[in-house]
Amino acid sequence: MADKIEAVFAGVDVGASRTKVAILDAGKNLIGHAVRKSGTDFTETAEICLASSLEMAGVSKEDIANCISTGYGRKNVPYSHDTKTEIGCHAKGCYHYFPMSMTVIDIGGQDNKVIKLDEHGRRVSFKMNRKCAAGTGAFLEEMAARLDIPLEEMDGLARKSENIVELGSYCTVFSGTEVLEKIRQGKKVPDIMKGLFLSVIKRVLEMDSLTERVVMTGGVVAHNPYLVNMVREITESEVLVPEYPQLTGAVGAALFAMETKG
Amino acid sequence: MSEEKKTTRKQIAAAKTLKKVMADHFYEMDNAVKTGSRKIAWCTSVGPAELLRGMGFLVYYPENHGAMLGATRMSTELIPFTNAIGYSPDICSYLTCDVGSYLQKKTPLTMAYNIESVPRPDVLVFNTNQCRDVQDWFAWYSRELDVPLVGVHTHRDIGDIREYQIKDIASQIEDLVPKLEEVTGEKFDMDRFKEAVGYSRRTSELWRACLEEAAAVPSPWTFFDATIHMAPAVVGRGTKEANDYYELLLPELKQRVKDGTAAVEGEKHRLYWEGMPVWGKLRPLSEQFYSLKACVVASTYCNSWIFDQLDPAEPFESMAVAYTELFIVRDEPYKEQYITDCYNKFKFDGIVFHDAKTCPNNSNNRYGMPERLSEKLGVPVLTINGDLCDLRCYSEEQAKTNIEAFIEQLEEG
Ligand code: SF4
């Protein structure tokens, strides 16, 4: 006879760009997860993501003791029991991995967050980027399209740069023109790519001051770890990254689910 | 899934009278234009309304019209027409939506009062007190309608108020008299002027008293209520009608305090709003705060119509004092002290700054004030990006998430 499965906790982060699900067991271990493009039907995507994370965890929907949803589409998850903001969930997720005071930098597909936590994990302040793609994943996607580069090659290209080409503008449209101008001047693609990474970092750093320790999360960081190296270099601070940076919000939501149940 | 609760608030009974006061205000002007019985002055929000009333003008406030255009969400459609004639989308959206309304011959007055258009001015009177935009705004109408333009140029960024500033403003106001006499064709009557100053003073005292009722815990009303009920203080400055309205509202608010009637049921958090209202989103914002058990108890904006320095014994000088002591013309240290005083009075536990894209003058978050005040008062602050009338500059989703996260932060303590 199979052992009785203990209750699990689900966190669903429906971002504007990607939907992430995390399943935690009672010991707060990440036992299942999934990431998928949010698309236009958030509810359906959240269902599909949940199904594949449950499968990975080897549990079924009935084993979920509590579920919290977060992110832009947090209200579109019929199976969730409550919602929390992505700011709260990222803070929670980061503090779980690094229980100390920190500044969280989350670079998402459509927005950025800078959240400051004290040593007890309480939020001291937070900022979200304004109504603009500058410094977000959307900016990099747009630029990759201009350069005709698949997204997954950006990181490798930027690493090859020997002579960074800095971009001056923060408007996505102006940057697009600037990139074309650099190509016309014969600048190398890796150097432009690194310049684009730097542009993202600058946008984030001007949102708020940083404290001693920085934790970086989000899909852009997950797929472009070279960004983290660059932030380390620029800020000369300790920059930590959780194992699955893209799942931090979902993990935070699952932790909230566990707390509110307990 | 959590859903925002529908509001089940106990309505403020005076609201019925408010509707009538506002309707009468517009009908009186509409009638005056049709019959030619009275002259109409257009006046900026801190223009010398008492003088205009004292000289027999009916007074129309384009900023109030801008707020109506914003609240009815007509503004966002109308602004582009003004942009197209060379007025930038980055300047005051009251200006751009109001001029757009003129160009397109569309006004919320039609829907609300069956009035075809705003009253045609006989004179345009500004005070640059809050910004230069008001002057440029009126100048456009002056050219378009061939109507005289007069005004007061205020000192700005004032720390300690100096005698020369008061003298200057007082004499600028006095200098308007002969120009206005030319429009009315009548001699200036000092007693009538003093009477208007007296009314304005009394209105201010009452309005202040109404706002201060929100110091009670729980608060009997919210900033969102006050943005509606302030209308008579704005358009009725210097009239008996405005006085009468607040004589009615104040006892009702006092009674609510006595009865423990909470504007936000189960009030858990008290907030201060710094900056302009987002006129087209008053209701959703008010409902969101309500559902989060957060009451916005006070604001710089609603306080800006308190002119209780006015003194009928010294009408010109006291108008100058009232207009010069005002928050918007003061320097940063004064503004921070002002909000600190409000903090002591209203006991709020967070401040929401509204960074209005087209109004730098009322967006006090741009020079580090939120950070300084947060540190000084030990309360968290939030800045939301938006605008007074141009909803193209407002992301509702982002604002909502920010507010929700801010309340979560307060709950974490
Ligand atoms: S203060 Fe701001 S909202 Fe008022 S008229 Fe000037 S720019 Fe417009």
What interhelical angle do B93-104 and B62-71 show, nearest 10?
80
- What's the distance, Cα to Cα, between the start and end of chain B in Å? 24
Do the domain assignments include residue B17?
A: no
* Same fold across A8-90+247-259 and A100-241: yes
- Summarised one tens digit per residue, pLDDT across range A53-78 is 999 999 999 999 999 999 999 999 99
Chain B CA closest to residue A207: B383
Residue type, A197: F
| Cβ <8 Å between A83 and B2 | yes
Cα(B300) to ligand 1 centroid in Å equals 14
Residue B114's Cβ-count burial label (10 Å; 0-12, 13-18, 19+) is exposed
**Residue bearing tokens 């989308």:** B89
Q: Total structural domains in chain B?
A: 1
Q: Give the domain CATH number at B69.
A: 3.40.50.11900
The CATH class that applies to domain A8-90+247-259 reads alpha beta
Residue B181 CA to residue B294 CA, distance in Å, equals: 50
Give residue B9's pLDDT. Answer: 75
Find the CB nearest B395 among A81, A87, A131. A131
A242: left (phi over 0), alpha (psi -120 to 50) or beta: beta
CB within 8 A of B105, min separation 6: which ones? B117
Write B10-18 long-range contacts (CB < 8 A, 24+): B10/B256, B10/B261, B12/B221, B12/B225, B12/B229, B12/B249, B12/B252, B12/B253, B13/B252, B14/B229, B14/B245, B14/B248, B14/B249, B14/B252, B15/B228, B15/B229, B17/B245, B17/B248, B18/B228, B18/B229, B18/B231, B18/B232, B18/B245
Collapsed DSSP state (helix, strand, coil) of residue B218 = coil
Within a domain: residue B272? Answer: yes
Task: Flag whether B1 is in a domain.
Answer: no
pLDDT of B4 reads 47
B10 belongs to a structural domain: no
Written as six digits, the tokens of B67 are: 């707020």
Residues 106-135 of A with CB under 8 A from B: 111, 122-128, 130-131
Å from B376 to nearest chain A CA?
Answer: 14
Q: Confirm whether B3 is domain-assigned.
A: no
Range of the domain at B283: 24-412
d(CA B245, CA B233): 9
Q: Tell me whether A75 touches chain B (CB under 8 Å).
A: yes
* Annotated domain spans of chain A: 8-90+247-259, 100-241
Q: Cα torsion for B286, B287, B289, B290, to the nearest 10°?
A: 110
> For B402, which residue in chain A has the nearest alpha carbon?
A128
Phi, psi torsion values for B404, nearest 5 degrees: -60, -45
Query: Which pair of structure tokens corresponds to residue B291?
Result: 């559902």
pLDDT band at A4 (very low <50, low <70, confident <90, very high): low
Helix (H, G, I), strand (E, B) or coil at B364: coil
- A86 near B CB under 8 A: yes
Q: Is B393 on the interface with A (CB under 8 A)?
A: yes
End-to-end Cα spacing for chain A: 28
pLDDT in tens, A161-200: 999 999 888 788 888 889 889 999 999 999 999 999 999 9
What would the two tokens of residue B293 be?
């058990």
Q: In terms of residues, how long is chain B?
A: 413
Which architecture characterizes domain A100-241 according to CATH?
Answer: 2-Layer Sandwich (3.30)
Give the DSSP H or E segment for B231: helix B231-235
**pLDDT confidence of residue B8:** 60
Closest residue by Cα to atom 8, ligand 1, is: B92
Distance from CA of A97 to the nearest CA of B (A): 19
> Can you tell me the ipTM of this complex?
0.88
Q: What is the pLDDT of residue B1?
A: 40
pTM for this model (two decimals):
0.92
In one letter, which amino acid is B71? A
Would you say the C-alpha torsion B12, B16, B17, B22 has a positive or negative sign? positive
- Mutation target vs B (from A125, A129, A206, A209; most B CBs, 10 A cutoff): A125
Per DSSP, which regions of A133-204 are E strands? none
B92 within ligand 1 shell (Cβ under 6 A): yes
From the CB of B142, is ligand 1 less than 6 Å away? no
**Residue among A131, A132, A156, A133 nearest A143 (CA):** A133
Measuring from atom 1 of ligand 1, which residue has the nearest CA?
A: B130
Q: Among A135-149, A152-166, B140-154, which is the least confidently predicted range?
A: A135-149
Chain B interface, mutation test: which of A13, A120, A131, most B Cβ atoms within 10 Å?
A: A131
3-state class percentages of chain A: helix first, strand second, coil last, to nearest 5: 45, 20, 35
Outline where A25-109 has alpha helix (H).
42-57, 86-97
Position B190, amino acid: M
Sign of the Cα torsion A220, A225, A231, A234 reads negative
Q: Which among A80, A111, A131 has the least Cβ separation from residue B1?
A: A80
Q: What is the pLDDT along chain B (413 residues), one digit of tens a residue?
A: 444 445 567 899 999 999 999 999 999 999 999 999 999 999 999 999 999 999 999 999 999 999 999 999 999 999 999 999 999 999 999 999 999 999 999 999 999 999 999 999 999 999 999 999 999 999 999 999 999 999 999 999 999 999 999 999 999 999 999 999 999 999 999 999 999 999 999 999 999 999 999 999 999 999 999 999 999 999 999 999 999 999 999 999 999 999 999 999 999 999 999 999 999 999 999 999 999 999 999 999 999 999 989 999 999 999 999 999 999 999 999 999 999 999 999 999 999 999 999 999 999 999 999 999 999 999 999 999 999 999 999 999 999 999 999 999 999 87
Bridge partners, A128 (sequence order): A113
